[in-house]
Structure 1
Amino acid sequence: MTQPDPAQAVAAAAGSSFSEHLSRHHPDLLPSARRLGSVPAGSAAGAAPQATTIVSLTYAGGVLMAGDRRATMGNMIASRHIRKVFPADNYSVLGIAGTAGIALDMIRLFQVELEHYDKIEGTPMSLDGKSNRLAAMVRQNLPLALQGLAVIPLFAGYDTDRHEGRIFSYDVTGGRYEEYEHHSVGSGSVFARGALKKLWRPGLDEEEAVRVAVESLYDAADDDSATGGPDLVRKLWPVVYIVNAAGIREIPERELHQMAEELVARRSVAGLEA
């Protein structure tokens, strides 16, 4: 009699969704399982670091996502070094705005979710499938969002079926919306979107797209105190990822350093001429 394969038995029991497996067997490990008791709605937000501005835009052959490095607690700067943009897998990237601690847990769970699906099914999840799974995770966090601990992700990736970069935004209820050309979330998003509208154009190449992202974050930092611009003194630059047919790649700091210095010099000359 043939003995059942233990690995196959475990895979069948777990299913293709790691987060659903946790929900059934260890719900206390989910980011949304945190409970604040009788804390009044909205009063918890000031007690936790908040991640702010994320921008994303498409370019010829792919999509880009960038985030500043500042986190705030009320009127205080909680961190100047936080990373808000992360690879989700080889062909997608995830940025977060909102309550930093919960957002980082959600990112880790999402990364494991995609890796688990790939191992169980033997094939990567489609980009639409990834965006829908992320929507379900955001929806699970709604009780905490109503108490002020909201997480608003921005998701982007290269669609290997359609051969193009795509962008998805979300609301606190888990609503998923596909964005076109460019988008931004976070406290400085209004100012970043204004810059993106002026600077983005069809057919941008990769280098031009990175410059547009850096400049839009610079403009957001100019008007939003919760957004940190390039810091030439502390040598802090945005985190920038590009995703295309070759996969995902982080832009090296030396390139961002050069772009930031050129941007500051250009703006300084413009200010003196004015």
Structure 2
Amino acid sequence: MDDSTPGEASLGTTIVGIVARTDSFTSDPPAGSTRADGDAVVLASDRRASLGRMVSSKDAQKVHPLGETAALAFTGSVSGAQALVADLDTERRLYELRRGQRMSTTALAGYAAAAMRQQPYGVQHLLGGVDGDGARLFTFDAGGSILEQPFAADGSGGPFAYGTLEAGYEPGMAVADAERLAARAVAAASERDTASGNGLQLVTLTPDGVDDRVYDDPAAVAS
């Protein structure tokens, strides 16, 4: 997806999200559940940004932490992504200041969807987070529609990443396995999508906080 205007930097890219479990997570999913219950979310992306046919950056940040236990992964307009992150982070801070508690992932997702309906940010994104209800992963389109998913991919490399995710995903998979799968998905997309490449950003969200790492080669995690 790339709604950027000519001359504007864009993140034609690969972004991936997976709900996972840490070793300390022991509860069983409810009967008939269609969602993979867990207490962690892994978000991953490549690191390339483009300006027309030129690679404008080889170390673009496409996954942005929001507070201590949530993050957004973007594809589309760089300026739109930065604006939405700033707007959502402001709303999160105000919410927490007024109520004295963290904004839930579901509330963050609802605000993000409403904001996208009101303003053309020119982005699509994944939002992951961990709160008292467990781990959540939401997908959005440019119009603000929202869906909760156990795993997802988006961006120009998303269709290639989905093949790897479909083959390797298992409900309730461990964080380490989810990180390897996410890295493999980004690597596979980077092989086929010219707008994706230049390494890996890997962000893991758990009740303990945000672990944000970058690698020059996804193989450092995928193997």
Distance 1:210 1:216 in 2: 10
For residue 43 of structure 1, report the CA deviation from its aligned partner: 9.2
Contact conserved, 1:67 with 1:240, CA < 8 A, in 2? yes
By relative contact order (CA 8 Å, sep 6+), the higher-ranking structure is: 2
Quote the residue 2:24 is aligned against. Answer: none
For residue 45 of structure 1, report the CA deviation from its aligned partner: 2.3
- Specify which of 196, 210, 213 is matched with residue 227 of structure 1: 196
Q: More deviation in 241-250 or 77-86?
A: 241-250
> Is the aligned partner of 1:175 residue 2:145?
yes
Superposed counterparts of 1:2-151, under 5 Å = 45-51=5-11, 52-60=13-21, 61-142=39-120, 150-151=122-123
Quote the residue 2:211 is aligned against. Answer: 249
Contact conserved, 1:220 with 1:227, CA < 8 A, in 2? yes
Q: Secondary structure at the match of 2:61?
A: coil
Quote the residue 1:193 is aligned against. Answer: 162
Alignment TM-score, normalising by the size of structure 2: 0.84
Alignment TM-score, normalising by the size of structure 1: 0.69
1:18-64 CA distance string (max 9 Å, x none) = xxxxxxxxxxxxxxxxxxxxxxxx99623211112110001123111
Quote the residue 1:18 is aligned against. Answer: none
Code of the residue aligned with 1:157 in structure 2: it is G
Distance 1:218 1:131 in 2: 28
Change beyond 3 A, Cα 1:257–1:215: same
Distance 2:3 2:172 in 1: 45
Contact conserved, 1:218 with 1:229, CA < 8 A, in 2? no
For residue 214 of structure 1, report the CA deviation from its aligned partner: 0.8
Distance 1:184 1:43 in 2: 17
Between the aligned residues of both structures, percent identity stands at 27
Code of the residue aligned with 1:154 in structure 2: it is L
For residue 209 of structure 1, report the CA deviation from its aligned partner: 1.3
Distance 1:192 1:134 in 2: 24
Q: Which has the higher helix share?
A: 1
Contact conserved, 1:217 with 1:229, CA < 8 A, in 2? no
- Specify which of 146, 159, 162 is matched with residue 131 of structure 2: 159
Change beyond 3 A, Cα 1:262–1:157: closer
For residue 69 of structure 1, report the CA deviation from its aligned partner: 0.5
1:183-206 CA distance string (max 9 Å, x none) = 011110000111111121123222
Distance 2:198 2:102 in 1: 36
Change beyond 3 A, Cα 1:191–1:92: same
Distance 1:217 1:157 in 2: 20
Code of the residue aligned with 2:173 in structure 1: it is L
Change beyond 3 A, Cα 1:182–1:229: farther
The number of aligned residues is 204
Change beyond 3 A, Cα 1:111–1:58: same
Contact conserved, 2:157 with 2:196, CA < 8 A, in 1? yes
Distance 2:221 2:100 in 1: 46
For residue 258 of structure 1, report the CA deviation from its aligned partner: 8.4
Q: More deviation in 218-227 or 113-122?
A: 113-122
Change beyond 3 A, Cα 1:200–1:187: same
Q: Secondary structure at the match of 1:130?
A: helix
Which of structures 1 and 2 has the bigger CA Rg? 1
Contact conserved, 2:15 with 2:158, CA < 8 A, in 1? yes
Distance 2:62 2:181 in 1: 18
Change beyond 3 A, Cα 1:229–1:193: farther
